[in-house]
Amino acid sequence: MKKNHLKVMAVAALVSSTFALESCRKDDPAPSQPTLTGIAANFNDFKGEVKAGEKVTLDPTKVYKLTGGVHVKEGGELIIPAGTKIESTAGTAAYITVEQGGKIFANGTSSSPVVFTSPTGTAGSWGGIVICGRAPINKGTTANAEVGNATYGGTNAADNSGSLTYVRIEHSGAIFTGEKEFNGLSLFGVGNGTKIENISILNGADDGIEFFGGTVNVSNIISVGNEDDAFDWTEGWKGTATNIYTKRRANGIGNRGIEADNNADNNNAEPRSNPTIKNGTFIGDPAFSGESDGFKLRVGTYATIDNVVLSNWKTGINIEHDASVAYFNGSGKITNVKFDNVTTKASVKASSGSPSATLQDNTYVENANANGAGNGLAVPTWAGTWGGL
């Protein structure tokens, strides 16, 4: 009898707990969907401002149609979750500009990147991404960006404009004049508090990535099929770039692997461009009939460059203008270089345009075993599938 009594009690307890659980389930409200505020709400007409104090988060289940300029104002935050896709066919009227004091957080993953693209697959389908920070530049204390006319520059080397990780930027860019261009990713006076890593810029109508001064560091950068320079800096950039893979478009469109400047008006302007470039593969096109430089280092830029592969260029390393020639010629600042199908390994030229002094030994140091971005001439393993190659 005692055992039967215990069984009855156990069954009663089970029935009671089951009833309580079901009752709780019926009373619980359905999970709520996140509320889309501000410009995130209209995903078919994505444009406008993220104002001070606003934190606008996009919905990764929607495809956003970029129809005009998006300006992240000072004190505003634009959050783009992993897997979000943003499409534009609006030409250079459509772009994203993060102004000084604003922040963007476009943080994808290796399996679910954030993708900016155009369904037409045409270069120049939109204006690209522009970030303006308060880090030092040498164009003045401050200046105005080519895109969106936003102010950039200042005195805060550690300025933080947010983060971009696992982001793919496709079919952007345009050239208006020699002084006004849309790139895939333009970094104006961006500080080293900003995180830029695992970025792929594909098939754009101008440069892949360009630095206008600033101190930002970048890593795992892909720049392939862009119609001008793959990797470009000017106005006093002093950051570090680690792991760069670039390749010219197969039909011959495209210019240099790296175009590096300090300041065209004053080659010795301070702060001077002086980045560290480590682990890079730069692939050209031997059929290209125009200027074909793996690196063009000029107008006073400095740099330290190590472990690079240069392939299919007429000139591997082209150093121009007196200030840059004086710094690089014979100084051993370019080390562990592997040349592959390069007609002229290096050349130097004075500011006057005439050939400079004889190229000195130790201007570059060769290493036939250099692996560049990590896999020699092949796509590096870190590019995974997120990079779109």
List all residues 6 or more positions away from 248 whose beta carbon is below 8 Å from its beta carbon: 225, 230, 254, 283, 284, 285, 288, 312
**pLDDT, position 254:** 74
Whether residue 252 has pLDDT greater than 80: no
**pLDDT, position 182:** 87
Residue 341, token pair as written in the block: 């199908």
**pLDDT, position 33:** 52
Give 370: exposed, middle or buried? Use CB within 10 Å, 0-12, 13-18, 19+.
buried
Whether residue 27 has pLDDT greater than 50: no
Query: Among candidates 117, 207, 132, which has minimal Cα distance to 162?
Result: 132
Phi-psi group of 320: left, alpha or beta (phi > 0 → left; psi -120 to 50 → alpha; rest → beta)? beta
Give 221: exposed, middle or buried? Use CB within 10 Å, 0-12, 13-18, 19+.
buried
Task: Give the mean pLDDT of the chain.
Answer: 90
Whether residue 25 has pLDDT greater than 80: no
Whether residue 3 has pLDDT greater than 70: no
**pLDDT, position 178:** 56
Range name among 112-121, 168-177, 240-249 with the lowest pLDDT average: 168-177
**pLDDT, position 376:** 98
Choice between 18 and 84, residue whose per-residue pLDDT is larger: 84
Residue 76, token pair as written in the block: 């505003």
Rounded-to-integer distance, Cα 171 and Cα 120, Å: 9
Q: Yes or no: say if 332 and 362 are a contact pair by the CB < 8 Å rule.
A: yes
**pLDDT, position 14:** 37
Phi-psi group of 101: left, alpha or beta (phi > 0 → left; psi -120 to 50 → alpha; rest → beta)? left
Give Cα 334 to chain centroid, integer Å. Answer: 23
Give 385: exposed, middle or buried? Use CB within 10 Å, 0-12, 13-18, 19+.
exposed
The residues with which 304 forms a beta bridge, in sequence order, are: 276
Average pLDDT estimate for 347-366: 86
**pLDDT, position 246:** 98
**pLDDT, position 249:** 83
Percent of the chain with pLDDT over 90: 80
Q: Place 122 in a pLDDT band, splitting at 50, 70 and 90.
A: very high
- For residue 163, the surrounding DSSP H or E stretch is strand 162-170
Q: Place 176 in a pLDDT band, splitting at 50, 70 and 90.
A: low
- At position 7, the amino acid (one-letter code) is K
Rounded-to-integer distance, Cα 8 and Cα 238, Å: 78
Whether the bond into 271 is cis, omega within 30 of 0: yes
DSSP 273: P
Percent of the chain with pLDDT over 70: 88
- At position 232, the amino acid (one-letter code) is D
Average pLDDT estimate for 179-201: 93
Return the half-sphere exposure (C-beta side, CA atoms, 13 A cut-off) of residue 35.
3
Q: What is the pTM of this model?
A: 0.90
CA distances from 376 to 242, 243, 308 (A): 15, 12, 9
Choice between 169 and 173, residue whose per-residue pLDDT is larger: 169
Average pLDDT estimate for 314-326: 96
Rounded-to-integer distance, Cα 56 and Cα 276, Å: 35
